[in-house]
Amino acid sequence: MKSAEIKDLSTKDLAERIETEKAQLAKLKVQHAVSPVENPSIIKKNRRDIARMLTILRQKNAK
């Protein structure tokens, strides 16, 4: 997800999206621990998306 798309979301939608992404990341990590995921770069991408969303959420709350 790109920063421009994230900035368009409201703070409530952004918080909900962060929770769903965190749940998906946990699920991917468990799947990868049991048997290697076909494309492990998905985990890295997901983690960075969460960090990006958290950063923008903090910026919006600071205003």
Please name the residue that has the structure tokens 């990868």: 32
Token digits of residue 36: 């290697």
Domains of the chain in sequence order = 3-62 (1.10.287)
Specify the pTM.
Answer: 0.89
- pLDDT tens profile 25-63: 999 999 999 999 899 999 999 999 999 999 999 999 998
**pLDDT of amino acid 59:** 94
| 34: Cβ contacts below 8 Å, ≥ 6 apart | none
